[in-house]
């Protein structure tokens, strides 16, 4: 019996030793694993990000090659001194981001608190409330355009049948209404993001803290201000920052719903850039606008993280 056992044991230890040797020798294995991901990110993210700085110094239009030239900081000079549409689109971007982030956060926070308590059909309620997260911007536009349709859309039908409005309301053509209409449609899609993130953060707070507060006679509002909010701070800062960047760059809904109109009242900076690129092929000028947008976002992110004391002890 031992004679049979020994070779097997030896073989086993030999193999284990071999594995150890292999592991020591194979320092390159993790790098090989990362190589495909790194290659894709280098070609399609890092190189474009870096090259946009180079193109921003050029006059570059693929349809007018005779005008292509190095112009130094000329594009930036034009942006900052002679481009009223840049200033207007930046202002609309700021308005758009503030409205979206504040409203999405407030509604998402409320929903997260509701969905964190126990009640019947909670799973179903969560699934329904989160569902707009999966809908594309173009589909959002399709749905809301149908509802905003001034001749027989859902809002029109309801307003007429209740007698609240006699003439059709031009939700997407009225200069006073278009911004709010677009904000509402995007809000519908954006709230689930906050609800999901904040719900995850809420679930990490131990129930004992609330029990202790209850024993001490604290009200629910007080418990929220003193326990929930401080413990959620990092999650809130990260979620609002991520969302602010995301909404700043969001073009799907605005491009398809209003195309920046009427009278450029919904033209945000990325939409302005997209139009420069798609309609006028001004790649150099569009790149310079992109660089300005990058720098604004970067400054915003740094200031925001500083002011919110992200990651510091409470």
Partner 1 sequence: MSRTLDRGLTLHLPLLLYVVFTLLPFYSMLMLAFHAGGQVTATFHYLPIPFSLQHFRTLFDEDSFLPYLRNSIVVAVATVIVDIPIAVLTGYALSRFQFRGKTTFMLALLTTQFVPASMLIIPIFIVFKDLDLLDSLLGLVLINATFELPFAAILMRGFVSAIPFELEEASMVDGCTRFQGVLRVALPLLRPGVVAVAAFGFVGAWNNFLFALFLISDQNLYTVPVGLSYFLGEFNVDYAALAAGGVVAVVPVVCVFALIQRYLVGGLAGAVKG
Q: Does 37 bind partner 1 (CB under 8 A)?
A: yes
Which residue shows structure tokens 């939700």? 171
Q: Stretches 67-75, 90-98, 291-299, 304-312: which one binds partner 1 (CB under 8 A)?
A: 291-299
Cis check for the bond before 262: say yes or no (omega within 30 of 0): yes
Q: Does 235 bind partner 1 (CB under 8 A)?
A: yes
Q: Does 36 bind partner 1 (CB under 8 A)?
A: yes
Q: Does 255 bind partner 1 (CB under 8 A)?
A: yes
Applying CB under 8 A, among 151, 221, 306, 312 the residue interacting with partner 1 is 151
For the bound state, the minimum distance from the C-beta of residue 175 to partner 1, rounded and expressed in Å, comes to: 20
Site size for partner 1 (CB under 8 A): 99
For the bound state, the minimum distance from the C-beta of residue 196 to partner 1, rounded and expressed in Å, comes to: 5
Per-state percent for the chain, helix, strand, coil, to nearest 5: 75, 0, 25
Cβ atoms 265, 245 nearer than 8 A: no
Applying CB under 8 A, among 93, 101, 153, 186 the residue interacting with partner 1 is 153
Q: Does 310 bind partner 1 (CB under 8 A)?
A: no
Q: Which of positions 161-190 make contact with partner 1 (CB under 8 A)?
A: 188
- Measured from the CB atom, the residue of 52 and 177 that comes closer to partner 1 is 52
Q: Does 219 bind partner 1 (CB under 8 A)?
A: no
Cβ atoms 116, 200 nearer than 8 A: no
Residue 236: CB atoms within 10 A of its CB come to 20
- Measured from the CB atom, the residue of 264 and 272 that comes closer to partner 1 is 272
167, two tokens: 């003439």
- Measured from the CB atom, the residue of 43 and 80 that comes closer to partner 1 is 43
Applying CB under 8 A, among 114, 173, 223, 265 the residue interacting with partner 1 is 114
For the bound state, the minimum distance from the C-beta of residue 181 to partner 1, rounded and expressed in Å, comes to: 13
d(CA 206, CA 185): 36
Q: Which of positions 79-108 make contact with partner 1 (CB under 8 A)?
A: 107
């Amino acid at each position: 019996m031992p004679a049979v056992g020994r070779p097997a044991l030896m073989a086993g230890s030999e193999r284990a030793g071999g594995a150890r040797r292999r592991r020591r020798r194979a320092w390159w294995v993790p790098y090989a694993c990362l190589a495909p991901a790194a290659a894709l990110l280098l070609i399609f993210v890092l190189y474009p990000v870096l090259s946009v700085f180079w193109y921003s110094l050029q006059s570059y239009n693929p349809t007018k090659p005779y005008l292509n030239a190095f112009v130094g900081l000329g594009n930036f000079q034009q942006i900052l001194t002679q481009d009223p549409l840049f200033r207007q689109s930046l202002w609309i971007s700021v308005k758009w981001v503030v409205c979206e982030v504040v409203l999405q956060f407030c509604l998402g926070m409320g929903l997260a608190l509701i969905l964190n308590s126990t009640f019947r059909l909670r799973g179903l309620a969560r699934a329904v409330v989160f569902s707009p997260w999966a809908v594309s911007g173009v589909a959002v536009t399709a749905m809301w355009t149908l509802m905003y349709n001034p001749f027989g859309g859902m809002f029109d039908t309801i307003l007429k049948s209740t007698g609240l409005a006699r003439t059709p309301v031009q939700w997407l053509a009225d200069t006073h209404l278009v911004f709010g209409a677009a904000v509402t449609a995007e809000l519908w899609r954006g709230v689930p993001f906050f609800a999901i993130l904040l719900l995850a953060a809420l679930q990490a707070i131990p129930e004992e803290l609330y029990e202790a507060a209850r024993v001490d006679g604290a009200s629910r509002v007080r418990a929220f201000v003193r326990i929930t909010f401080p413990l959620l701070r990092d999650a809130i800062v990260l979620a609002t920052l991520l969302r602010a960047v995301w909404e700043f760059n969001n073009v799907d809904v605005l491009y398809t719903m209003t195309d920046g109109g009427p009278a450029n009242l919904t033209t945000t900076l990325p939409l302005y850039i997209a139009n420069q690129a798609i309609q006028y092929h001004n790649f150099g000028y569009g790149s310079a606008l992109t660089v300005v947008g990058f720098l604004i976002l970067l400054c915003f992110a740094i200031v925001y993280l500083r002011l919110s004391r992200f990651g510091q002890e409470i």
